[in-house]
């Protein structure tokens, strides 16, 4: 049952929760200077891009290009390669988020600011910088995978991400 009154109440609860999280964000930002955060962001962005590129090459060439052909079903492995790429994106996203959090946790003294662990997690993961680093990593990863698989000679999924000749 979803009446207009009930929906209004839901929105109210979300709004209150958002408001409650603001003081902690503000507090954290006050403690860690914006310049320091930016410095962290740019350095991690660079690292993220590098990690995305390297893992793109490694995963593209060593895993996706070598997927096994199946003796039944389709005569190509493009669908399986795409599915596998999605799994890798999810894995990189989760791993990246954990690594970035640990990185931030070790570098900045959240502990002495009386932030609980869950507060710190919320603080780091809801920060747009964090999302940007992850996004950049994944975009570079996908691009490198697409290029590596397309141009590696004899790659089994060469047309999975960048279409090739269509035939007749």
Partner 1 sequence: MSENYLIAVGGTGSRCMQAVIYLAAAGLFQSPMHILIIDPDQNNGDSVKARTLVTNYHALHLASQSRQAERRKRVVGWEKLPEPHLFQSALNVTVGQVNTQQSIFWHNPNPAQRRFGEVIQYQEQKEEFKKFLDLFYEPNDLEMVLDVGYRGRTNVGAVALKQDLEKTASIPGVGLREFLVKLNIDLQAKEARIFVMGSVFGGTGAAGLPTIPQLIANLPAEVMAQDNRARLRYGCAMMTPYFSFPKGSAGSTGPGTDSARHAVATQAALLHYAHVPPGYQHIYFVGAPGRPQTNSNNITGGQNQTNDSHYAELIAALAAWQFFDLPQIPMSDKQLHFADSVQDKTDVGVNWKTLPVNIANTARRETIKRELTIFTTLAYFYRNFLYDRFINGQLYREANWYKDNFGQLDLDEEMSMLQHLYEFSGAYLTWLAQIGETGKAANLQLFRWDALRETDPSLANMYVGNLLDDPLSSSTKRSQAGFDSLYARLDKLVLKQPGTNSAAGLFIFMLHHAVSEFCRENYVWR
Residues that bind partner 1 (CB under 8 A): 68-72, 74-76, 78, 153-154, 156, 158-159, 164-168
Instruction: Quote the least distance from Cβ 159 to partner 1, whole Å.
Output: 6
Instruction: Quote the least distance from Cβ 73 to partner 1, whole Å.
Output: 8
Q: Which C-beta is closer to partner 1: that of 25 or that of 76?
A: 76
Distance CA 56, CA 2 (A): 45
Distance CA 24, CA 32 (A): 12
Instruction: Quote the least distance from Cβ 53 to partner 1, whole Å.
Output: 22
Q: Which C-beta is closer to partner 1: that of 4 or that of 154?
A: 154
Q: Which C-beta is closer to partner 1: that of 78 or that of 122?
A: 78
């Amino acid at each position: 049952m979803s009446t207009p009154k009930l929906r209004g109440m839901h929105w109210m609860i979300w709004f209150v929760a958002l408001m409650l999280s603001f003081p902690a964000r503000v507090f954290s930002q006050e403690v860690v200077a914006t310049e320091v955060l930016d410095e962290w962001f740019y350095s991690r962005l660079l690292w993220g891009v590098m990690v995305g590129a390297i893992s793109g090459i490694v995963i593209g060439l060593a895993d996706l290009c070598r997927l096994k052909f199946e003796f039944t079903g389709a005569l190509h492995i493009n669908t399986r390669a795409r599915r596998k790429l999605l799994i890798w994106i999810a894995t990189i996203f989760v791993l990246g988020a954990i690594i970035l959090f640990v990185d931030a946790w070790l570098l900045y003294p959240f502990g002495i600011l009386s932030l609980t662990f869950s507060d710190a997690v919320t603080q780091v993961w809801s920060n747009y910088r964090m999302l940007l680093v992850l996004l950049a990593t994944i975009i570079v990863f996908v691009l490198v995978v697409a290029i590596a698989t397309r141009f590696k000679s004899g790659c089994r999924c060469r047309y999975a991400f960048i279409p090739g000749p269509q035939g007749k």
